[in-house]
Structure 1
Amino acid sequence: MHDPVLPDPTLPENSPSARARRAALTILAAAAVVILPTACDYAVANTGGSGSGSGYGYGYGGHSGHSAGSSTVQTVPAGNTGTLEPSAAPTSSVEPTTDATETTDATETTDATETTDATETTDAEETTDAEETTDAEETTDATETTTAAPPPPAPLEILGNDCSTSDLDAHTGFQDAPRCVAIAFGEVAAAAQSPSLLITDAPDTVAVGEAFTLQVSTRNLVRDRFLGAAAGGYYRESSFLTADGIQRGHFHTACRMLASTDVAPDAEPVPAFFLATQDNQGGAAPDQVTIPVTGLPDAGVAQCAVWAGDGSHRVPMMQRANQTPAFDIVRITVQ
């Protein structure tokens, strides 16, 4: 700071020398006003003061040691010779409070960023875990399904599929046995087209020798094929279907007298009544056929049965083993 210049008391106040001295003092004072702000500049970056000098250490609020946003330059009129009081000396070129606050903000920002990263990592890990869990569950389900599946069946031990290993004579188409039938089974209908039949009407009681009728309904059976057993057509040809997949053949009706209703009957005796029906009727739709029975010879319980046959008298084959073959039975009391 410049030392104040005072009037010389040895000179008269209005003397030329005094006037010249006062003029010189005025010039010096004006120069001091111009030079003073430049002398107070510091090469320090502005850390928060307002004004056009932000960031360069000059301008309003440009040097440190003064409150941010206030003017630190004292303006005095030209010619004033009073002492220009300087502002308090700066204690630091950087305001600690502002720096500390900004440092804290920076730290908080970093923490926030780190927290976000940690959250994102956690989410990613959770997603991965979820995916891994899903994969594990799918693997488990697949394993359980595989485990629950039954093992493949053991290879069947087939005794034979022709008569090449049989000791019996070949069957000739006549009703004699024991023989070995070498004829192929032939064609089998689909499950939905398998033949079936049902006795839809029969008397409960008839007299000995009394004629009566049975009503029989057949389905999926074309009654157009019958090879006479007495002529050697028994078990002589394979099974055949129509072009629509319907069984070709006929059906039988037989009534026999039961010696007992407590044990299975003997199958050898010839039945009391027998009839094969081949009327060139029937088809996929169910129909009704009337079977006339001429009468039963003895009192007791009669078993009347009907069953389908292919062209060579065999019960038609079924697609599945658990399908019921085409047959039905009723019991009639004969008095």
Structure 2
Amino acid sequence: MRETALPDPTLPENSRAARGRRAALTILAAAAVVLVPTACDFAVATPATDGGAYGQGAGPVTGGHAGHTPTTIQTVPAGNTQDLDPTDEETAAEETAAEETTAAEETTAAEETTAAEEEGAAEETTTGETTPTQTSTAATTTAPPAAGGGLEILGDDCSTSDLDPHTGFQDAPRCVAIAFGEVAAAAQSPSLLITDAPETVAVGEKFTLQVSTRNLIRDRFLGAAAGGYYRESSFLSEDGIQRGHFHTACRMLESTSVAPDAEPAPEFFLATQDNGGGAEPDVVTVPVNAMPAPGVAQCAVWAGDGSHRVPMMQRANQTPAFDIVRITVQ
């Protein structure tokens, strides 16, 4: 049979009351330590064992807030620092708090569902229409389109290609692994136009073309014969203007009714890199060598980035930076 300690009648009444108040304060303080989350807002990272990676939110930890450093360092989200090994009392208090929170959430959800159903029923009674009370997120979420607009891409590097890597020289078939690089905004995409060209020239007669470029800084030209072909990614200036140059080529057409053979070298080719150009349009005079025989010469001009690719465009329906004229050679 348990014995119950009785108050000491020899102690003054106010002394017994003081002891009771102190005991109550001690119990409340212990409860506060168990239930109130820490106010420290920092993440503690697990020290790396391989000399490299660290845990969430921080690098190597060299210390912590006084009075809040865990006995065993662990990785936790910032603002939720806690000990690895809680006491039985802390675990019980946390489980009780979690159960109370879950019960409160379920009660609130039930009340909201009942209110929504009653509101939906009232609307149906008023309008005669069926109004769903809840909308499924899965049913209304649209999946993102496939990367190829419905087509599966064949690849985006040379890892699956059977071809040898491209070396920067003009040999093929090869696989070019250099990244495309930077593309200008639509309003700053390079463009060019042949503004003046003769309609006819004589065999053996030199002539000139006038070429205007816009949004093209003509300061990058990696020599193709020196290994600079498809060797460099595309780059823009600090103002978002394409850096590169432009090409001019003239070839004699065997026919004007079928596409020409692309393999033979043209009668004339020139790359213009004069450190001019920019956002505003200007005009360059291109001297062209004489054509060797009578017929129709096709003269083409096109922009290139530093490594000879036609500059990329923001949209697929933008016209590339090129122009072509035909000149009668007689």
Alignment match, 1:251: 246
Q: In structure 1, what residue type is equivalent to 2:230?
A: Y
Q: In structure 2, what residue type is equivalent to 1:165?
A: T
The CA distance in 2 between the partners of 1:178 and 1:213, in whole Å, is 35
The CA distance in 2 between the partners of 1:315 and 1:193, in whole Å, is 15
Specify which of 169, 176, 191 is matched with residue 174 of structure 1: 169
Specify which of 214, 221, 227 is matched with residue 226 of structure 1: 221
Specify which of 255, 265, 269 is matched with residue 270 of structure 1: 265
Deviation at 1:150, TM superposition (A): 12
- 1:208 paired with 2:212, answer no
Alignment match, 1:242: 237
RMSD: 2.5
Deviation at 1:155, TM superposition (A): 4.8
Alignment match, 1:321: 316
Alignment match, 1:193: 188
Query: Could you list the runs of 4 or more consecutive aligned residues of structure 1 that deviate by over 4 angstroms after TM superposition?
Result: 149-155
Deviation at 1:156, TM superposition (A): 3.8
CA distance 1:152–1:227, shift in 2 (3 Å): closer
Q: Aligned residues: percent identity?
A: 84
CA distance 1:215–1:132, shift in 2 (3 Å): farther
The CA distance in 2 between the partners of 1:334 and 1:204, in whole Å, is 9
- 1:296 paired with 2:295, answer no
Q: In structure 1, what residue type is equivalent to 2:319?
A: T
**Equivalent residue pairs, number:** 196
Deviation at 1:294, TM superposition (A): 1.8
CA distance 1:295–1:150, shift in 2 (3 Å): farther
Gaps of 5+ in 2: 1-122, 131-139
The CA distance in 2 between the partners of 1:204 and 1:191, in whole Å, is 33
For residue 192 of structure 1, give the secondary structure of its aligned residue in structure 2. helix
CA distance 1:281–1:268, shift in 2 (3 Å): same
Alignment match, 2:255: 260
The CA distance in 1 between the partners of 2:260 and 2:127, in whole Å, is 68
- 1:279 paired with 2:310, answer no
For residue 183 of structure 1, give the secondary structure of its aligned residue in structure 2. coil
Residues 155-174 of structure 1: matches in 2 within 5 Å? Answer: 155-174=150-169
For residue 211 of structure 2, give the secondary structure of its aligned residue in structure 1. strand
- 1:309 paired with 2:304, answer yes
Gaps of 5+ in 1: 1-127, 137-146
Q: In structure 1, what residue type is equivalent to 2:213?
A: T
Q: In structure 2, what residue type is equivalent to 1:333?
A: T
- 1:331 paired with 2:300, answer no
Q: In structure 2, what residue type is equivalent to 1:253?
A: T
Listed one character per residue, the Cα deviations across residues 79-102 of structure 1 (whole Å, up to 9, x for unaligned) are xxxxxxxxxxxxxxxxxxxxxxxx
Give TM-score scaled by structure 2 length: 0.56
Q: In structure 2, what residue type is equivalent to 1:298?
A: A
Q: In structure 1, what residue type is equivalent to 2:318?
A: Q
Listed one character per residue, the Cα deviations across residues 103-151 of structure 1 (whole Å, up to 9, x for unaligned) are xxxxxxxxxxxxxxxxxxxxxxxxx9xx969x99xxxxxxxxxx9x999
CA distance 1:150–1:160, shift in 2 (3 Å): closer
CA distance 1:192–1:165, shift in 2 (3 Å): same
For residue 278 of structure 2, give the secondary structure of its aligned residue in structure 1. coil
Give TM-score scaled by structure 1 length: 0.55
The CA distance in 1 between the partners of 2:154 and 2:235, in whole Å, is 26
Deviation at 1:168, TM superposition (A): 0.3
Q: Which moved more, 1:149-158 or 1:218-227?
A: 149-158
The CA distance in 1 between the partners of 2:317 and 2:285, in whole Å, is 29
For residue 225 of structure 2, give the secondary structure of its aligned residue in structure 1. helix
Listed one character per residue, the Cα deviations across residues 41-85 of structure 1 (whole Å, up to 9, x for unaligned) are xxxxxxxxxxxxxxxxxxxxxxxxxxxxxxxxxxxxxxxxxxxxx
Q: In structure 1, what residue type is equivalent to 2:217?
A: V
Deviation at 1:171, TM superposition (A): 0.2
The CA distance in 2 between the partners of 1:269 and 1:163, in whole Å, is 28
Deviation at 1:304, TM superposition (A): 0.2
Alignment match, 1:46: none
Q: In structure 1, what residue type is equivalent to 2:304?
A: G
